[in-house]
Amino acid sequence: EVQLQASGGGLVQAGGSLRLSCAASGFTFDDYVMGWFRQAPGKEREGVSFIRISDGSTYSVDSLEGRFKISSDNAQNTVYLQMYDLKPEDSGVYYCGRCFWRPLSQLRTSEGYDYWGQGTQVTVSS
């Protein structure tokens, strides 16, 4: 059974940092791209950062480059999202998902991701 378990969210002040984790099980980790998405109330789910597990290639949306860093521990089948200098607009529910490799423009959209974690809430206070 495929499972993605997201954790690490919480309440943090603006300028603070958080590290999210997504523990994966039930599938061959190396075969996939893992992505982090976020969704604020009343807004669509948006792609944040992505990693191709097989070679460690990473991609982040331009607006978050430098503040958000995705990584993986393949021995633990876990993907991380390290977030720095958090801003109130970063608040939302963060989800991890898996998909097969596709062009970056398609990685950013939630279509094509077949499994999602349950989400972890990030709240950044001003």
* pLDDT interval class at 65 (50, 70, 90): confident
- CB burial of 56-76 (b: ≥16 within 10 Å; e: otherwise) equals eeebbeeebeeebbbebeeee
What tens digit of pLDDT does each residue of 74-102 get? 999 999 999 999 999 999 999 999 999 98
Does pLDDT of 104 surpass 90? no
What tens digit of pLDDT does each residue of 11-51 get? 999 999 999 999 999 999 999 999 999 999 999 999 999 99
pLDDT value at position 66?
87
